[in-house]
Structure 1
């Protein structure tokens, strides 16, 4: 098998159609196919073989899509490095993974070269935007590398169980680790997207990639290229750039994490912009509160869907369609708390500590399996044995399932607050707080408490034009939550930290409160 052949086929079907747009540059299907052929041929000529990895370290740009499809064609492993990682983490990846080539932009040149030297692996250094900064000794320019390739490259056959992508976690629980997504996993993800009426791209689809295309935002790239859609890559995220691009390019589909939804809803001019071309707004990457989901439907219209997945599952494993969300808004308030039902060929179970399936509405650990689910972490046998058992991915997420199969996430195991022996779920408290009209964004964490072990704290970003008082917020929650769950304290801040993928960074919010504590509850 070779996933790159789907781009080649689409270039035959729609050679002059626009495949990719980033900034002022665009690629037709024929142009993208030729460029990826050349790059694949060059890498093979330099001695790279299946099992070798090419890493990328850059902000969003079209060349990252060229690299992805060239690696498919050459049967090589892709090791995307989050552009917000520090130098030490980059060095760790270069020494940890079988990286033979590191491609980087000028903004990351110093970190990239320092990490290459420190790792001592001797990987080839390639700079993307060579016009923006002079090439250092030993560095090859990307255009020059591309020119070395032949116009045509025969696709390299690979096995579906061969490593395709090393998907590095954000490292919130320790050192970076990589879920090994195989070519078969990626193919299963493509099929899943194509099988859904809601997510299926087609000629005429104009998809806007808002976040890092090397991660969740780019998971639809293969399906887009298969189907003849156009992918627009946003170089830098902002709510202003989002509404400008949707309006100008008549974007029909996009993917947003909840933090992005908050920013768009809070944009002072967004309501006056023409965003009616949007036919699909998928939300994922982190839980979204029922209130924010209703706000999103009111703003975008009945086109909002949401899904749940993680790096260890390659793609979405549960989804709530726009039709289901619209029904929930009108008739089923509880369903707004759900992330949906199992998608396509995914299987989902809720189990206790012994691995036994739990009855409806009992909270346990969510485990999943399917052809898109990862089987191992790279060179981490002990961690792999904990997470991947008997064909199931143990997600570490606490959840319950309704009688009709709808899945309700409760919290991460590590984020659950234990106060006086009672379990308190941060997401439940946050859902109540999002009902307050003055709350723009909120993060709930457990903080040290001499009596109860932990106490609930809410850290809130107020909406512009709203003045909030801690006592009022606590009283507001007391009307909606059990007294044990309401916040004991409230901090008002100008902004909350987000991790490298745009998700709310709960660990960064929590850590300062525990800095001098003698012990931790969890």
Structure 2
């Protein structure tokens, strides 16, 4: 018996363009593109790429800040049956070169301010045969807009796809220090879009408006798919730098109804005086994910905005679908039974959450163990990494590496992490990645990076360094200079401490819990 094919995900855009051709799809400043225009541009780029030899299964690496073309490229990849490989635009050229090589990308589309990234990718990988510039193209490259203009008006039939055909490599860092490509598929993403619409922004339609404040390469890109599916306009910020006043101006001007963000950005937005200067009564859903929110920050947001907060817990590997805490389960009143303080919510529709012990047995209500999840939102696996796939999906569950417990109602509470990962400003930081860069400095013998609480960013990194005995004195300034260009700034430690030695286990492994305890003991961090 043969399974039926699934919908090519790009049909979501095509359906919306037919239903609401003249409604705004993307707004940036004074520029407005309708759904028909966007769909036509996507068709044009699909035809251009096909003429240039791009075929189903090819990977399209994208290095760009948020713009119309970045949004379009997701749909171009889906429609072609290709795989979208978006990068976090803040990554260094070397970091992006690794993504290009490991993904096997044959096409690279880049915003013209990132020429160094293209050169680095081409040095690292022999697979890239086609380079397309958003903006000014260099010799041997194609111009995105020239390609679109040349093919406007063409009709393009989407590739036939099956449930497990990949459509997106969602890069997620691992504790091994190198990012891994989570393989997201057409079948999986059809479920994810439906699930997100049901659980995060229910009732969304073509009269809604979404403000895009985070990079489309990750969670905000997933959120964009939902708004496209329902015909809600996407308002892009004028710059990648967050300006709270501009944000609230845009909320008032466009009557924004939903926004996807992280706790640190919510904090910045609601603490800024402009929150009281503009009308934000249109806002229905302010979704925050990526890290827990401090209760004080949560209360202030609820006081300023009303019951519009939606929290969800989810990793890239499960496309954000683990739990949700909807608006009615938030309250600024600590005595309100609906406040659910400290919880990240109930299991997502169609997903199952379990707390398992090290033997894969379910733990009773209230006991702490590893948070595991199963259901249609779980990734197919990691690209070219069977060992990591097997470990993550052991026993038929996706293992989050986070520790938590559930209460008698099934609400989840996260208590800690098995790994050393910490979350700074909503971005996952894996210390080993930073440690590996610091260890390439000639004066560094050993280093331990760990996250410590921070009132603004949630957590920030600190690094404890042991100098090589034969090396010259090394300063924090020299180590920051060493990180420049080798490691994205959001991963940098905030502070360096220099010790004679680091505590180790009987196996010679640095014991971070002892490092943390000694930092507190020495008064170098708070207890």
* TM superposition score normalised by structure 1: 0.80
Cα distance change, pair 137–214 in 1 and its aligned pair in 2 (3 A): same
Cα distance change, pair 415–509 in 1 and its aligned pair in 2 (3 A): farther
For the residue of structure 1 that corresponds to 2:311, the secondary structure is strand
Correspondence 1:169-188 to 2 at 5 A:
169-170=172-173, 173-188=176-191
Residues 1:268 and 2:284 aligned together: no
**Aligned match of 1:521 in 494, 511, 515?**
511
Residues 1:108 and 2:114 aligned together: yes
Find the counterpart in structure 1 of residue 167 from structure 2: 164
Distance 1:169 1:288 in 2: 22
Alpha-carbon deviation of 1:333?
8.0
Residues 1:280 and 2:285 aligned together: yes
Find the counterpart in structure 2 of residue 468 from structure 1: none
Cα distance change, pair 334–228 in 1 and its aligned pair in 2 (3 A): closer
Distance 1:391 1:328 in 2: 40
Matched residues, number: 452
Stretch of structure 1 that moved more, 252-261 or 139-148: 139-148
Moved over 4 A (4+): 170-173, 327-330, 439-442, 444-448, 509-516
Contact 1:207–1:253 under 8 Å retained in 2: yes
Contact 2:371–2:399 under 8 Å retained in 1: yes
Find the counterpart in structure 2 of residue 404 from structure 1: 409
Cα distance change, pair 343–511 in 1 and its aligned pair in 2 (3 A): farther
Distance 1:172 1:27 in 2: 41
Contact 2:22–2:35 under 8 Å retained in 1: yes
Query: Which consecutive unaligned segments of at least 5 residues does structure 2 have?
Result: 1-6, 423-449, 465-486, 505-509, 513-527
Find the counterpart in structure 2 of residue 331 from structure 1: 336
* TM superposition score normalised by structure 2: 0.79
For the residue of structure 2 that corresponds to 1:356, the secondary structure is coil
Alignment deviations for residues 138-197 of structure 1 (CA, whole Å, 9 cap, x no partner): 111111122343611011111110111001124665012111111112111111123237
Contact 1:318–1:342 under 8 Å retained in 2: yes
Distance 1:313 1:363 in 2: 21
Find the counterpart in structure 1 of residue 515 from structure 2: none
Distance 1:511 1:383 in 2: 32
For the residue of structure 1 that corresponds to 2:247, the secondary structure is helix
Alpha-carbon deviation of 1:120?
2.6
Correspondence 1:25-104 to 2 at 5 A:
25-104=31-110
Find the counterpart in structure 1 of residue 4 from structure 2: none
**Aligned match of 1:149 in 151, 169, 172?**
151
Alpha-carbon deviation of 1:137?
1.3
Find the counterpart in structure 2 of residue 194 from structure 1: 197
Correspondence 1:115-514 to 2 at 5 A:
115-130=121-136, 135-149=137-151, 151-170=154-173, 173-196=176-199, 198-234=201-237, 235-236=239-240, 237-326=242-331, 329-332=334-337, 335-415=340-420, 440-441=456-457, 443=459, 508-509=493-494
Alignment deviations for residues 337-363 of structure 1 (CA, whole Å, 9 cap, x no partner): 000000110100001111111111111
Contact 1:89–1:176 under 8 Å retained in 2: no
Contact 1:266–1:440 under 8 Å retained in 2: no
Find the counterpart in structure 2 of residue 423 from structure 1: none
Alpha-carbon deviation of 1:222?
2.1
Contact 1:190–1:223 under 8 Å retained in 2: yes
